[in-house]
A and B are shown apart, each in its own frame.
Chain A
Amino acid sequence: MASATSANLNAVRETMDVLLEISRLLNTGLDMESLSICVRLCEQGINPEALSAVIKELRKASESLKVQQQQHTKCHFK
């Protein structure tokens, strides 16, 4: 039983590695962690396009937040 699970684990791990390569090739900008989260979400039935839209939006928002904070801190230092 234990060997079966571990075999399955390894298979999944290999799948994830392959997927990471695909993701790199496509330049999605996802790292292993976010990729595995995405896979889990997809498996749970989240629409992939909605998911990608969310990711793009989140990236954009956090980017602008960072810029804001930087400006803020710059003002502080002035």
Chain B
Amino acid sequence: MAHWSTFDKETEKETKKLIKCISGMEDEEDQNFQLALKFTWSNFRFHRFLDVDSHKVERSISGIYEKLMVHSDLRKAESWMRLTDEFLNSPLPQTDGKKTDAHYSVLSMLFSLSGSPSNNDFTERPRIKEAEAEDCFDWAKYLMEGEDIDNGLYPDTPVWSEDESEDDDSQRPISREDSGIQLDRTPPEDQDNTNKTVPVTWTVGEPGARAWLEQHVVTPYWVTHSPRFPHSLHLHSNLLNVWDQHLYNTDPLYLPEEKAFVTETQVIRETLWLFSGVKKHFIFQQHDGKVSVRNDVVVTHLTSNCLRSVLEYIAVYGQAVFRLQRFIDEVTGCSSEPCPPGSLSSHNSKKGSEPPFRTYQAFVWALNKYFTSFKEELTTIERELICNDETMTLSAVLERLGPHLSQIKVLHKVFCTGVADVPPATPNVVRASHLLNTLYKAIIEYDSVGEASEQAVALLFSLWTETVRPYLEIVDEWIVHGHLFDPAKEFIIQRNKDVPVNHRDFWYATYTLYSVSETVESEEKLNDSASGSSGGDQSSSSRQLTMVSFLKPVLKQIIMAGKSMQLLRNLHCTEAESSEKSSRDAERKDLYTLFLESVQSRLRSQETSPTNTVTDDQATRRSLIKMQSIVAQHLEMENVHDPLLAINFARLYLEQSDFQERFSGGDFIVDRSSQSVTCQTFELTLRSCLYPHIERRYIECCGNLMKTLKKDYKLLEYLQAMRNYFLLEAGDAMYDFYTAIFNKVQEKESWQQPSFLNVQLQEAVGQRYPEDSNRLSVFLENMDPSRKKHPVNNLEVLTLSYKVPWPVDIVISSECQKIYNQVFLLLLQIKWAKYSLDTLRFSGEIRPTDKPCPSEAPAEDVKLKEPVHQQIHRMCLLRVKLMHFVNSLHNYIMTRILHSTGLEFQHQVQEAKDLDQLIKIHYRYLATIHDRCLLREKVSFVKEAIMKVLNLVLIFSDRWQAGFGAWKIESIDKMESDFKNCHMFLVTILNKAVCRGSFPHCK
């Protein structure tokens, strides 16, 4: 193998060529190509074949000759002998001499490629055809055949069959027909056919008519082997020939290819057609949506490579146009024809199988608009070309189309990322927001380039304003009419169908917000986001990229306004005042119009104030200089000397102040880069043109809703009622209710009967607040048996409930009531302890146990009753202590906590701007009182201690009631120590807590 390792490089080059030639793979980086190369190399290096044996090859030659003779194919046999002989005696490109090994190895390779000549499979097509001039025999035959029977020597008949010629005859007409219509067969294949057919198509007319035609009709250059057009013989216009000649002279193996000659005008026209969306071309070919350049097209004055590179450049744009055009066709195909999305509100009439996807339609409409103008330009160029008044070259046309081409590039890029890359099964929401996001991002991206891409920005901006239209219309419809109309499910917020408006879950569960992230599509329930967004930025920052970005700053407002409006609508529709509304609606401008008007006025003010700009420029320059000196001073203080930095700082500062001015002033616009919508100005445009409208609408809607809720639906009254009953603010009524219960308990009667409780409640409340009495009711719940051991827990079976009507129940939900109820139970327990201590009387005096009251008869029977006396004293002390504890707890909770928090709450409610905020305030209020009443899990140990004391109180009062005699000294001891322990515990805990500052409200 060593002998050919020297050729490695050369061989490798040839090997690659071979692979390209045989497999058609062009890309050397392709994995398959690499595989093939490896395979080929290993076969070349490590094979099991013997070296070429010239004798063997000679034998094969004679063998084939014999075989041909056996098949009586004399002509072929003779031709075979002659050809091989001639070949063996001819020089090879790099090998000198005759009948060398190289000759034999070439032949041997051909043999093994052809297989055995006797094999019918392989012998079907071989034919004795001679294109060579030196092969007289075949040439003559060929000419003869050509003359009398046109052609058709090469139909698909088996050549080896004996009756070849007869077959030929029968096949002739068919073959001619074939050749007549074969226009795009590759030239080598029917080289011979076309040579004859073209004259046939051309000799139809009279010579005169033909001359006329040649003058007035474009030469059919798309027909292979069309006659060459006449052209100058000047050297410059024959560069191709010169180059070909050169190639021919330098490379012995160079094969002149079949070429289709065209003129530059034809190329220009095809280019124009390609751009205007024509699908069938001669120069450009389309395969599966890919535009490629035909290989064999040449013009006379350029080399084929040069022309090809230009054409390929064009083809890229052509393909972009083609793809965009196809997208336009696809989208408009379903809705018959492109129409402005505004007219889609009348889509009810033409309902398709599925509702139109309006965002795409709007996008397509915008694209279509652009293409209309582009095609106008193309048409003008073509008209000029036809007039033939001035010289037009391909490069001139390309230059003229330059701006358009770069715009198309931008469009195509946006289209690719925004539309084409989206997998087909994606829901519309994701598609729409992805498209809008892509546009938005593209605008900002190109914006940051500055004036270099002004046109791109302008184009994208117009595209964006068109595309965003459906969204704004949806938003408009929603926040004005409270009706989220989105049949194609493209808006980021969608209504859940199963929740009716007059349901308490409406506020939370009605809408689903779809947020689209770059990688993962997730959907989140709206209530999360709504509550989160009003809380702060923590939620919005986490999904920075996920939403339709331009709506993000006002998303919360939109959601609130929309929901409020829908709610309001429903509230109002019960009151039926829609007629007035609809009349007002007629003259109302929709959001999109408002937006466009603002944008226009903004842009116009930029355009029409050039004088202003100049002065502004001067002003800014002056202030820039001033700022610069200030900043420079600052920097010098920090020992930094960098004038450039100073200038940049100054500029930054100026821009910011500029920004302030614009933002606050609104109509006063300073724009240094006149017409362009620069980076800041794009976002500012949104800010000043779109967001205020939404903001205004939001304030209006939510204000209305709040007013309605407060005025017509007595929201405040209900909140008051909750506090009245649950937080015992209506002391008189509730006193009646709970004392009745406590009395029962003290009498040791069963009080846990719903009827009794309800009657008591109704009586107590009905007297004073008759309107609430039928809303309130008491339920008994089954107690957890494990907790029943303490008497104080007995009360926990009570559940007070207040029926809150819709829509107030959006604010006062059942969860809220639960918290209210917990507080209520705590209060009740304290009240109970207090009551039982308060009502303790020294009834023991007259008890049969005969123990006198310690305070009134201390001296009597001192000796005997000394321990009793002591006991009584200790009991009294304990009672006072307990009373002190309970009273201060009671006071603390009732006044310090409930009352003051309640006042705060009332204040905040007055100021609440929207329903969400109100709900939030209410929740916060509840959380606060829940927290401060020590009902939180975290501080449950404190509550446990308090409960223990309260329990102790109840046990104590129970013991007390039992009478003096029944006391045991140990039990008193135990009670005392228990209380002491609890007290100590609480004091230490609370002291610590207060010191730590975690309970600022504590005593």
- Which residues of A are in contact with B by a Cβ distance under 8 Å? 6, 8-9, 11-19, 21-34, 36-59, 61-62, 65, 73
Contacts and interface: CB of A to CB of B under 8 A. Distances in A.
Contacts of A39: 92-93, 102, 106
Interface in B210-264: 249, 252-253, 255
Contact of A23 (B10, B110, B134): B110
Contact of A53 (B47, B108, B130): B47
23 contacts: A8-B91, A14-B90, A15-B87, A15-B92, A21-B129, A27-B123, A31-B188, A33-B255, A38-B18, A38-B109, A40-B253, A43-B94, A43-B102, A46-B11, A47-B49, A48-B52, A49-B109, A50-B43, A50-B47, A51-B44, A57-B43, A62-B25, A65-B32
A27 B128 CA distance: 11
A30 B92 CA distance: 18
A-B CB proximity, top 3 nearest: A26-B114, A48-B109, A15-B90
Interface stretch (B75-83, B677-685, B877-885): B75-83
Contacts of B135: 21
A13 to B, nearest CB: 6
Contacts of A51: 44, 109
Given A39-B92, A42-B102, A54-B43, A9 B252 contact: yes
Contacts, number: 187
B127 to A, nearest CB: 7
Interface string B186-221: 001000000000000000000000000000000000
B268 interface: no
A24 B113 contact: no
B904 to A, nearest CB: 66
Interface string B128-154: 111110110000000000000000000
B23 A62 contact: yes
A44 B22 CA distance: 19
B107 to A, nearest CB: 7
Contact of A25 (B25, B43, B126): B126
Contacts of A42: 102, 105-106, 109
Given A15-B90, A25-B76, A41 B107 contact: no
Given A26-B126, A28-B114, A6 B249 contact: yes
B24 interface: yes
**Chain B CB within 10 A, most for which of A14, A16, A21, A57:** A21
A27 B125 contact: yes
A58 B122 contact: no
B83 A46 contact: no
B579 interface: no
A55 B17 CA distance: 12
A20 to B, nearest CB: 8
B106 A48 contact: yes
B720 interface: no
A43 B105 CA distance: 8
B36 interface: yes
A54 B40 contact: yes
A13 B113 contact: no
B863 interface: no
**Chain A CB within 10 A, most for which of B10, B25, B86, B113:** B113
A26 B117 contact: yes
Contact of B44 (A22, A34, A50, A61): A50
A59 to B, nearest CB: 6
Nearest to A30: B113
Contacts of A9: 249, 252
A19 B104 CA distance: 12
Contacts of B92: 12, 15, 39, 43
A47 B18 CA distance: 15
Contacts of B117: 26
Contacts of B292: none
Contacts of A17: 131-132
Nearest to B288: A73
A65 B135 CA distance: 40
Interface string B255-288: 1000000000000000000000000000000001
Contacts of A13: 252
A21 B131 CA distance: 8
B51 interface: yes
B122 A37 contact: no
B370 interface: no
